[in-house]
Chain A
Amino acid sequence: MGLALILGGFLVATFLMVVAKRITALIAAFRLQSLCLFLYVFGMALTQKHFELFVVSALVLVLKAVLIPFLLARIVRRIKVEEDLGLIVNPQVSLAVALLLTYLSYVFARSIIVPQEALRLASFVVSLAAFCAGFFIMASRMKALAQVLGLLAMENGIFLAAAAIAGGMPFFAELALFFDIFIFVIIIELFVYKVNRLFTHIDTSKMDSLKG
């Protein structure tokens, strides 16, 4: 029952990411989502008494809930980016789309997992919904940083799916994955900084116009 509640929190955090209008709110919602992911993996570690899962949950907490949001918040401060996200779909419609995606994930998941395993089904639905919502954020927000956060939300969704369906990936694969994500965020931070200095904005919809 505790895990089901955490799943609810994870999905609500994902919806908060979808509805966020400002980049700081988006980062805060991502931090909340990662925190729910940490709680979920920690809960699984407690029930399965699996040492590696404890390590993984600690890594989730340190990297995704603390370090990555901190790095993103720092780049926001450094480039003094304007607060808006370049929404091309307004928050209400975004929420409706996210809800529709959640329902479609449920319809899809029901054809794969038997409904008797309610918790596993729900975990799969939630992870798929987070994946789709992250994709939607990437597609409908025009600022580079918002797209990065969309990608991170997708990654959280995939991670949740791996933890819930397969009981976690092989330990070294997970370590490598964390390292990848971390390096990715650092590179993106530098990249966004450079782009902002060169173009004076990070709006990806304006980047196809030539600049001499």
Chain B
Amino acid sequence: MAQIPLLLIQTAFIIALAPLVSGFIRKLKDILRMRRGASIFQPYYNFAKLLKKDEVVSRNSSWIFAAAPVVVLASSVAACLLLPVSGIRVSAGVMGDMLALFFILALGRFFLALAGLDTASAFGGMGSSREMFISSILEPAAFVSLFVLSMNCGSTAAAALAGTQALRASTVVAGAAFFMVVLAETSRIPVDNRETHLELTMVHEAMVLEYSGRPLALIELAGHIKQAVLFVILGWFFFPAAAGFSWRALAFFAGMSVTGLAIALIEISLAKMRLFRVVDFGSFAFFIALLAAVFASMGM
């Protein structure tokens, strides 16, 4: 019970920090491209601006369209509550393990896809269909790579997974697979491109095309939070948990910035894949994760 305030502080911290991570990646990309770019606080400005704007809703949309942003944001925040941040060990662990965490995130994605279909615009439907296609391909890789952590520590509880078994051959290989999942889930370049609204290539942006004003602000915030949650989970694979608050804080910030840097480098150096190449991408991630499972069964 004494942990509840700490848990709330931690969740508020992640929510407050999440847009900064997005701004940081965008700034890194701009620097690497020799551009000046927007400030790293731009996502906060966007959020504040969108909150002030009016909303335009299609006459043909139903309650799903209105409910989806709230559900998406709620799912991201709920995932945050279940997340032990690099070994702080504070999470609503009794409420669910890391499987619950992933299915809560999937609930948000489900509602976003429904909302894309709801307005019956061609782009929304296309975006929903692609999003579900991509996520169904990447989901096995996500789960198998997390199960590698479970095989090492003998539990699926998120608190047990967080960093206790990091930096072994199996977890590093599984981490490589999970990194590919993170690229796809946060709609990064080899799979999707957040910067473009070119009609034939967008996936995530196509789903939320009909949103404006306050609901769009909520959806963007939910995206930032989901990204931060996935980055923290990626950190479980690489940063061993150890005693001492300063070490944990260091591991947290190092994980965030190294992941951000890796993603920025990949985004500026690769081209977006054709949609059907995503199958290759996903199956490679899946087989790498299985390979990590073989390593884990070898006890490495």
What size tier do the contact residues of chain A reach?
Answer: 20 to 34
Q: Are B298 and A8 in contact (CB under 8 A)?
A: no
Judge if B168 is at the interface, Cβ distance under 8 Å: yes
Q: With both chains docked as a complex, state the minimum distance between the C-beta of B273 and any C-beta of chain A, in angstroms.
A: 12
Residues B173 and A122 in contact, CB atoms below 8 Å apart? no
| Residues of B contacting A118 in the complex (Cβ-Cβ under 8 angstroms) | 298-300
Residues A8 and B170 in contact, CB atoms below 8 Å apart: yes
Enumerate chain A residues within 8 angstroms of B284, measured Cβ to Cβ. Answer: 15, 19, 91, 95
Within the complex, what minimum Cβ distance (angstroms) separates A112 from chain B? Answer: 14
Interface string of B261-300 (1 = CB under 8 A from A): 0000000000000000001100110011011101101111
- Chain B, interface residues (CB within 8 Å), range: 20 to 34
Chain A residues, Cβ within 8 Å of B279:
92
- Cβ–Cβ contact A102 & B168, under 8 A: no
Min CB distance A102 to B, Å, is: 6
A167 in contact (CB, < 8 A):
no
Nearest chain A CB to B176 CB, angstrom units: 6
In the assembly, what is the distance between CA of A115 and CA of B298, in Å? Answer: 8
Question: Which residues of chain A are near B291, meaning CB under 8 Å?
Answer: 11-12, 15, 99, 102
**A40 to B72 alpha-carbon distance, docked (Å):** 46
Cβ–Cβ < 8 Å partners of B170 in chain A: 8
A171 on interface, CB distance cutoff 8 Å:
no
Taking a contact as CB atoms under 8 Å apart, the answer to whether B169 and A122 are in contact is yes
- Residues facing B in A110-157 (CB within 8 A) are 115, 118-119, 121-122, 125
B287–A122 CB distance below 8 A: no
- Are B168 and A99 interface neighbours, CB within 8 A? no
- Residues from chain B with Cβ under 8 Å of A1 in the complex: 167-168
CB distance from B265 to the nearest CB of A (A): 16
CA distance A106 to B283 in the complex (A): 22
- The CA of A103 and the CA of B298, in the complex, are separated in Å by 10
Asked if A7 lies at the interface with its beta carbon under 8 angstroms from chain B, I say yes
Q: A7 touching B169 by the CB < 8 A rule?
A: yes
Q: How far is the CB of A180 from chain B (nearest CB, A)?
A: 31
A8 touches B169 (CB 8 A): yes
Please report the C-alpha to C-alpha distance between residue A115 and residue B297 in the assembled complex, in whole angstroms: 11
Contact B287 A95 (CB under 8 A): yes
Q: Evaluate contact between B298 and A106: CB separation under 8 angstroms.
A: yes
Query: For the complex, is B172 an interface residue (Cβ under 8 Å from A)?
Result: yes
* CB-nearest residue of chain A to B287: A95
- Considering the chains assembled together, what is the distance between the CA atoms of A118 and B170 in angstroms? 13
Are A103 and B295 in contact (CB-based, < 8 A)? no
A5-B169 contact given A92-B283, A95-B284, A96-B287, CB 8 Å threshold: yes
A186 to chain B, nearest CB (A): 32
Q: Are A15 and B298 within 8 A (Cβ)?
A: no
A71 lies within 8 A of chain B by Cβ: no
In the assembled complex, how far is the CB of residue A8 from the closest CB belonging to chain B, in whole angstroms?
A: 4
Smallest distance from the beta carbon of B152 to chain A beta carbons, Å? 13
> Are B295 and A121 interface neighbours, CB within 8 A?
no
- The winner among A8, A12, A102, A119 for most chain B CB atoms within 10 A is A8
Say yes or no for A190: interface residue by CB 8 A criterion.
Answer: no
- Measured between alpha carbons, how far is A98 from B292 in the docked complex, in Å? 13
Q: Which of B176, B280, B295 has the largest number of chain A CB atoms within 10 A?
A: B295
A5 to B166, CA, bound (A): 11
Q: Using CB atoms, name the residue of chain A closest to B299.
A: A118
B299 close to A115 (CB less than 8 A)? yes
Point out the residues of chain B lying under 8 angstroms from A169, CB to CB.
none
Which residues of chain B come closer than 8 Å to A21, judged between CB atoms? 280
Q: Are B299 and A12 in contact (CB under 8 A)?
A: no
**Cα separation A122 to B298 with both chains bound (whole Å):** 7
Most buried by A among B167, B169, B288, B290: B169
Interface pair B172/A91, CB less than 8 Å apart: no
Which residues does B use to contact A, with CB under 8 Å? 167-170, 172-173, 176, 279-280, 283-284, 287-288, 290-292, 294-295, 297-300
Q: Could you list 18 examples of A-B contacts with CB < 8 Å?
A: A1-B168, A4-B168, A4-B169, A5-B168, A8-B170, A8-B172, A8-B173, A8-B295, A11-B291, A15-B284, A15-B288, A21-B280, A91-B280, A92-B280, A98-B287, A106-B294, A106-B297, A125-B298
A95-B283, A106-B294 known, 10 other contacts, Cβ within 8 Å: A11-B295, A12-B176, A19-B287, A92-B279, A92-B280, A96-B287, A98-B287, A106-B297, A115-B299, A118-B299
Q: Which residues of A are interface residues toward B (Cβ below 8 A)?
A: 1, 4-5, 7-8, 11-12, 15, 19, 21, 91-92, 95-96, 98-99, 102-103, 106, 115, 118-119, 121-122, 125
